[in-house]
Structure 1
C-alpha cells in the first residue's frame, strides 16, 4: 500500500532529522510526532512505500526499528525517509543509523544507550575496487601454464 508525503507535516516543531549511510546507500530520516505511519521514498523510482513493504524481509524490518525499541520510543513516532543507492540490505542499515541519529536529535540523553548498542558507529566497509588484469577486485582469469 502506497502512502503520500502529504499525509505528513514535517516542520521543525514536530520532526527530528538524521542521516544514515552504509556502503553506497544514503538514508535521510525524519521521525515525526503524532503519527504512526512509516513511509520510505525511493529516489531512483520516485515512489513512496510502506516501510515493511519496502524492506521486504522481516529481519531487515526489525533491524530498522531496533533503535526505537532500544530507546523505548516504539510507536511514538512515524517515520518518513528517502533512500538512494545500494541495495535493500544496505538501505535498511542506513535507515537504522539514520533513525538512531534522529533519536539523538530528539533526546540527547539516549546517546549512551544507542552508543553501547553500536548504533552510532557507521559500518565503514565498502566494496573493494576492481584491479586491472583481474575480473573483479580479487577474482583472476584462469591461469594455464601451457
Structure 2
C-alpha cells in the first residue's frame, strides 16, 4: 500500500526547493542532512518551520527536501515556500492561514544586474575632480 505523499515546489532568488511531506514523526531532512545542521542559524530554522507551526502540524509530517541554487537565505525562503505549497495539497483549508502570513507568495525580488562603468549594480567608482 502506498503512503500518501504531498509535493510542493518553492522558489526564492536563485534557489529552488522540491519539498515532499510524508506522514511521520516530524523529522526534517534537507539534502539528506538534518535541517538544524543544514541551517545552523536559529532565525533560518524558525523561518523554515513557520508554515507547519502556523497550521499546527509540527510533528505530524516528515519533511524531505532537495534544494539547489542560491545562498543560505534564499534556500531557506525556497524551503518555506515549498512547505507552504505542499501543505495546500494536504488540506485546501490551510490556504487562509498560510496566505494571511504570506507563505504562499513567491518573493520575486532578485539581485539587480551589474551595469557597465559601475562596480556593482549601483555603486560607482570614486569621483576624482583632478
Deviations 1:54-86 (A, max 9, x none): 011111101101000101111000010011111
Distance 2:61 2:90 in 1: 11
Which of 50, 58, 62 is equivalent to 1:74? Answer: 58
1:36 positional shift: 2.7
1:134 positional shift: 0.6
Matched, 1:21 2:21: no
The TM-score, its normalising length taken from structure 2, stands at 0.95
The 3-state SS of whatever aligns with 2:113 is coil
Distance 1:139 1:12 in 2: 55
Aligned-residue RMSD, C-alpha: 1.4
Segments of 5+ residues of structure 2 without an aligned counterpart are: none
The equivalences for 1:1-146 within 5 A come to: 13-41=3-31, 48-146=32-130
Segments of 5+ residues of structure 1 without an aligned counterpart are: 1-10, 42-47
1:110 positional shift: 0.8
Superposed structure 1 runs of 4+ greater than 3 Å apart: none
1:12 positional shift: 6.8
* Number of matched pairs: 130
Deviations 1:72-129 (A, max 9, x none): 1110000100111111111011100100000001101110110011111111110000
The TM-score, its normalising length taken from structure 1, stands at 0.85
